[in-house]
Structure 1
C-alpha cells in the first residue's frame, strides 16, 4: 500500500487508480499454490500506518494466530527503497535479517513491475515473498488457517453469510476504503467531486444500516467490519483534512462514531492502532499533498474510550467464542500512538 499511491499521484494528470497485487499466491490448508499452512514458517510484514495492513493485524489478533504467524512492523516513514525495518535493533528485521522489505520481493522476482507494498507474507526459510494480495490474505487467515486458530476464535467469514458479506465489502471498498484515496489524490475537480459524493453517500448508507444493528452483517463481527473499521479509525486523523474528505468529521455522525468506538474498544481492534504511525506516515510521506511535512497535533483522541452505548442493539461480538488474550510481548502499541 501507498508506494503505488505516491507514484500515481505525481504522474502528471493521471488520476488515481489502485493496481492489483502482483504476487497473488495463497497460503492454503492443502498447499495447492505450493505454500501450505504451517506454524512458524511465515512472517507477516505490516505497517501500522496502512489500513490494508491493519486488516491483517486485526484478523491475526482475533483469530489468535500470533504463535503461528510472526510479525514484522515497518517504520511508518519510507525512503526511496520503501518499507524499512529501522524500528528494530541494528535496523534489520531480526527474523528475516533484511533491512528493507524490498529484499524479500527481490528474492522472489528481481525487477518485477510494481511497488513494494504491505501487507506482505514472507517465507522465512527462503526469504522470498509469498504474497502481497491484501484482498485474499485476511480471508485465507479466516478460512485456511483454521487448524491454527485459538480456542474460541470467531468465524469472521461464515459460509452462510458470505454472499452478503461480499456485497457489503465490495461497496465499502469501492466508495470508502478506496474512495478516500480517489478524493485525496484527485487531479481534477470533477474527479474529486465524484469521489467525495460517492464517499459520503456510502457513509450515509452505512450510518442508516448500522442505526438498528450492531454489526454490518448478522449479529457478530465479520470480515466486513474489519475492512470498514480500518478506514473509519483513520478518518478524522488524516482523511478529513489531508484527503479533503471534509463534509463532516466521523465524530459528528452519531451512529458511525458509536460503531467505530465499539469496535475500537473490542479486544483485537484498538490494541492494534497506532495513531502516531498513522499521522506521521500520511503527513510526512505524501509530500505532494503536504510539502512542508508538518504533522498536525490533533485531533483529540480522548473520545475513543468514551461509552458508545451500542450494547443496546444486542449482538455477540465473538458469537459463541471468546475475546483474544492479551497483546503478546513486543507487539504493544507504544504510548505515543495510543488513544488516551
Structure 2
C-alpha cells in the first residue's frame, strides 16, 4: 500500500492508503521523491461542475521525479535504481507509473536537487518554438517559474527582454534573470505606450504570453511588431478567448501555441534543461521557492493560486 492524495471536493484534499500500482509491458514504476504543482491544476482544484468526486488517487500530478523501482516486460534503455524525471499523470502519490519512453534519466550532478522535469522541459520547448535570436526585442508577459526561465534563455541568446508582470517580486526575479527592462502590469494602455517608447515605435519581434488569462493575451497581442511572433505559453483552460483578429491580421503576425503534446518532444526538452543546469547556464534553486509534504498538498495548490510574496513555484515532497 502507498499514500496518495485524493481530491474529495472543491478545494478539499485527503491522503489515502491505496494499492501500489504495477507496471505493465513497456512501463516503469517510479518511487517518487516529489512532484511539482502546475497552474493547470488550479481549475480542477476549484471543483468545476464537470468534475466528479472523489478523484483518482494521485491525479493531476504530472511533474514527478524519483527512482525507478520496478519495470514491466520489454523495457529497455532504463533500469531499476535509476533516478529519473517522469512524464506521468498521478504523481501526487508515493509511486506512479510511466511509459519507459517517457522517463528521462537524471545525472549524478543533480542528486539531492528537486527536479520537476516536465515544467523545465516545457520552458525549453517553448523557447525553441519562439525562434528567439540575437538582436531581437522580446516582451514576456507574466514572470513566474516559466517566465523567469524564458527571460534567462532569451537574454543568453542575445535578445533584449522587456519583462511585464503584476508583482514587484516577479519583476525583481526578471531583473535577476537578465531582463533589460521591467514594467509593472497595471495599466493596459500605459504599458503599450511604454513599450512603444522603448522600441522607438516598432514594438517587439517576439512576445511571449505566459499567464493564461484574457487580459494578458489582449496585452501581448498589442505588443507584437509587424511580422513578429506571438507565442502563447500561458495555459488557457478556463473558457474560450476573444482575440483582436483585426490587429493580428493587419500586422501580419505569426501566432504559436507553444505547448507540446508529443512525449518524445517533451523528453527532449527535459534533456535540454538538464544540460543547461549541469553546465551552469541555469540555476534551478531560486525557481523552486516553496516545498510542502504530500499531506499539505491543498496548501501547495492554494499557494500556486494565491501567489504569496516570494512565490514562483511549489513542489510537494514524498
With structure 1 as the length reference, what TM-score do the two structures score?
0.27
More strand by share: 2
- Name the larger-Rg structure: 2
- Which has the higher relative contact order, 1 or 2, with Cα contacts under 8 A spaced 6 or more apart? 1
TM-score normalised by L of structure 2: 0.28
